[in-house]
Every structure is written in C-alpha cells, then in structure tokens.
Amino acid sequence: MQRFLFPRWVNPLLGIFAVATAAGVVFAGAMGGLITDPKTLNVGYEPTQPVPFSHAIHAGQLKLDCRYCHNTVFEAAHAAVPPTATCINCHSPADDAGQTALAAVHPTSVKLGPIRESWSLGRSVAWTRVHNLPSFVYFNHAAHVNSGVSCVTCHGRIDQMETVYQAKELSMAWCISCHREPNEHLRPIERVTKLDWEWDPEEVIDGKKLGKQEDWAASHRLESDINPLVNCAVCHR
Ligand code: HEC
Ligand code: HEC
Ligand code: HEC
Ligand code: HEC
Ligand code: HEC
C-alpha cells in the first residue's frame, strides 16, 4: 500500500501549526489557572438591576425582615425573589383617575417606573441573579437556616448594601470547611435573619440565658441532630 504523504505546499504551514499549538498550551494553562482564580468565583460580583432596589433602605432602615420578601427561605431549597405584588403593597401606583393612595410611598418615582410597568402588564421584573452555583451543585436554604446558619454568614451584610453583591467565594472548599466545623456558625433560629446580631451570653431566649456560644452550639447540635456531611453525593446528586 502506498504511504500517504502530505503535499509539499503543506510545509510552510508547519510553522503556523507549531505557533498555534504553543498558544493552545498557554491558553489551556491560563484556563486551568482561572478555575481557581477567585475572580471566577465571583466575589464582588455586583450586577446592575433593572430597578435600583436598596436593601440598605428596606432591610436596614425600614427593618423589614428578610422573610417579608424571601418568604420561601425557611421552607424550600430556593429563596424566592419577591413578585411585583410585594413591592406594590407599599409602592402602589395611581389609579385610572390619577388618584394615589394616601399610604403609597413614592407613587410617581421614576426609579419605580419598571415596577409600575410590570404591575400593569402582569409581567415579572427581570432581576439579574447575583449568586449562582454551577448546575451540578445541589444547595438547600431550608436545611441551613433551620439549623441556625445566618444569612450573614453566606451573604455578608445585605442589610447595608445599596446594590447586592456577592460577599463570599462560594467554592467547594468554603462549603466543606463549614460542614467539617459548623459549631461557631450556629445561632438561635430566631436570630438567623438579624444580620447585625452578635452573641451575648446574657441574652434570654425562650426563658433561657444563651450562655457561651460553644456550649450552646454543642447542645443545639445534639438536640436538633445537626451533622453536615462531606461525602460527594450530598452536594453532587
Ligand atoms: C422589600 C423586599 C426585600 C427584603 C425585605 C429583602 N430582600 Fe433580598 N432581595 C429583594 C429583591 C427584589 C431582590 C432582587 C434584586 C436585587 O438583587 O437587589 C433581592 C435579592 C437578594 C439577594 C441576591 C439574590 C441573588 O440573585 O443571588 C440576597 C442574597 C438577598 N436578597 C438577601 C436578603 C436578606 C439576607 C434580607 C434580610 C436582611 C433581604 N434580602 C431582605 C427584596 C428584598
Ligand atoms: C449556607 C450558606 C447560605 C445561607 C445561610 C443563606 N444563603 Fe442564600 N444563597 C446561598 C447560595 C450558595 C446561593 C446560590 C444558590 C444557587 O445558585 O443555587 C444563595 C442564593 C440566594 C438567593 C437567590 C435565589 C436562590 O435561592 O438561588 C436569595 C434571594 C438568597 N440566597 C437569600 C438568602 C436569605 C434571605 C438567607 C437567610 C434567611 C440566606 N439566603 C441564607 C447560600 C446561603
Ligand atoms: C413595607 C413597605 C415597602 C415595601 C414592601 C417596598 N418598599 Fe420600596 N420603599 C419603601 C419606603 C418607605 C421607601 C422610601 C425610603 C425613603 O425615601 O427614605 C422606599 C423606597 C424605594 C425606592 C426608592 C424610590 C425613590 O424614588 O427614591 C425604590 C426604587 C424602591 N423602594 C423599590 C422597591 C421594590 C422594588 C420593592 C419590592 C421588591 C419595594 N420597594 C418594596 C417601602 C417599601
Ligand atoms: C456556615 C456553615 C455552612 C456553609 C458555609 C455551608 N453549609 Fe451546607 N450545611 C450546613 C449545616 C449546619 C447543614 C445541616 C446539616 C444537618 O441538618 O444535619 C448543612 C446541610 C447541607 C446539605 C444537606 C441538605 C439536605 O437536604 O439534607 C447540603 C446539600 C449542603 N449543606 C450543601 C452546601 C453547599 C453546596 C454549600 C456551599 C455552597 C454549603 N452547604 C455551605 C452548614 C453549612
Ligand atoms: C458541601 C458541598 C460539597 C461537597 C460535599 C462536595 N462538593 Fe464538589 N463542589 C461543590 C461546589 C459548591 C462546587 C462548585 C465550586 C465552583 O464553582 O468553583 C463543586 C465543584 C466540584 C467539581 C468541579 C471543580 C471545578 O473546578 O470546576 C468537582 C470535580 C467536584 N466538586 C467533585 C467533588 C467530589 C469528588 C466530592 C467528594 C469528595 C465533592 N465534590 C464534594 C460542593 C461540594
């Protein structure tokens, strides 16, 4: 059988192939490096939202509880982002006759334009997601907040943010380090949505003094049977 030979005109291309291969190696190396680069894990990611909704005003100044808006967070895997109707409770627009309700807050604010439009058209607001794990990772809010892990541990001081940004690197190492040693991150469930709360041994909850955090956490874990796992199938199912 005749050996296959490349035609002679290929020879000059060999140089180009060599350069392309070298560039490919550099590219693959860079990609490999980026996977562990904190930037790709999105710390500080702060997308512009369609409405300049401020947690600093609503959760901070007005002290609305997180559950007023994220009402599924204690029951479900996902923390629901509120529908427009929740905003309209306070920001109701003028009626057809141009009359605004007495209690309406900023009924004609330009910033709230997209909310009024969403309400009149019955279309939801296209909020941009801030936190987003890869689809091969399973996460569950209810399991965490009902064990006494506060929103602040994973999201930072949302109640002080004008625009929400990602405060923590949601890496596998981060998840696992808490699963191994959860005690110092646990607090009474009644305080999970109080982001500025700090441990005070003298504080009384349900008629009992809290005492030292480490003692409280140890007995809380026993009582509620809290044992976060680190085997792969817990988070990759
Ligand atoms: C008045 C309603 C309201 C309250 C109260 C509220 N939020 Fe939000 N939250 C929203 C809306 C609307 C968004 C989506 C727009 C944005 O990201 O700002 C959001 C987004 C978020 C996000 C980002 C979600 C994502 O896309 O990754 C987090 C985290 C969050 N809220 C946590 C909290 C915490 C913690 C509290 C309590 C301290 C709280 N929120 C109180 C309405 C609210
Ligand atoms: C143990 C860490 C942890 C705690 C505690 C936690 N979150 Fe989250 N939160 C996350 C992660 C991780 C995501 C991204 C989930 C995903 O991409 O599937 C997220 C996403 C969100 C979102 C976007 C919607 C969603 O479910 O993906 C909202 C809103 C939110 N969190 C609000 C809250 C509020 C409010 C609390 C406290 C009541 C809270 N979170 C407590 C880790 C946490
Ligand atoms: C419990 C009542 C209440 C709810 C519910 C509420 N807000 Fe507000 N909002 C307020 C108040 C009060 C202010 C005014 C604060 C100020 O002016 O100091 C405000 C101010 C604002 C502003 C600034 C308006 C301007 O022109 O300065 C925006 C934007 C806004 N809210 C968006 C929203 C969105 C979006 C939702 C739903 C996710 C929402 N609000 C839910 C009470 C509420
Ligand atoms: C600050 C501590 C902490 C962090 C951070 C944390 N976890 Fe957890 N996780 C817990 C605790 C506590 C439990 C409850 C274990 C129990 O009830 O036995 C839990 C339980 C779980 C469960 C079991 C839920 C179920 O339905 O049984 C999953 C899945 C999980 N975590 C995934 C994650 C992932 C993914 C991350 C990172 C994005 C993460 N966790 C970060 C503390 C943490
Ligand atoms: C507590 C939750 C948790 C457990 C347990 C866990 N993982 Fe992960 N894993 C994650 C998260 C979160 C990510 C996504 C991190 C990111 O986006 O960088 C991830 C990403 C990965 C990736 C992709 C890495 C990459 O760079 O893209 C692999 C592979 C993986 N995990 C394998 C495993 C194996 C094998 C085990 C068991 C030894 C395991 N995981 C246990 C949460 C977990």
| CA-closest residue to ligand 4 atom 33 | 139
- Output phi, psi for 166, to 5 deg: -80, 120
Residue with tokens 């191994």: 180
**Identity of the residue numbered 236:** H
pLDDT at 98: 78
pLDDT at 228: 97
End-to-end CA distance of the chain, in Å? Answer: 53
Q: What is the dihedral of CA 85, 149, 158, 76, to 10 degrees?
A: -20
Please, what sign has the CA dihedral across residues 161, 164, 167, 173? Answer: positive
**Nearest ligand, measured from the Cα of 154:** 2
pLDDT at 32: 45
Confidence band of 42 (pLDDT split at 50, 70, 90): confident
Q: Could you tell me what percent of the chain has a pLDDT over 70?
A: 83
Note every long-range contact of 211-219, with CB atoms under 8 Å and residues 24 or more positions apart, other chains counting.
213/184, 214/183, 214/184, 216/186, 217/182, 217/183, 217/184, 217/186, 218/183
| CA-closest residue to ligand 3 atom 15 | 57
Q: How far apart are CA 25 and CA 38, in angstroms?
A: 22
Residues lining ligand 3, judged by CB closer than 6 Å?
51-53, 57-58, 62, 64, 69, 82, 86-87, 89-91, 105-106, 109, 111-112, 115
Write down the mean pLDDT value for the chain. 88
Residue with tokens 């982001």: 195
- Those residues with Cβ within 8 angstroms of residue 181's Cβ, 6 or more apart along the chain or in another chain: none
Q: Under a CB-based contact definition with an 8 Å cutoff, are residues 88 and 115 in contact?
A: yes
Instruction: Single out the residue of 28, 55, 19, 33 nearest to residue 152, CA to CA.
Output: 55
Q: 89-104: per-residue pLDDT in tens?
A: 999 988 877 787 778 8
Q: How far apart are CA 21 and CA 15, in angstroms?
A: 10
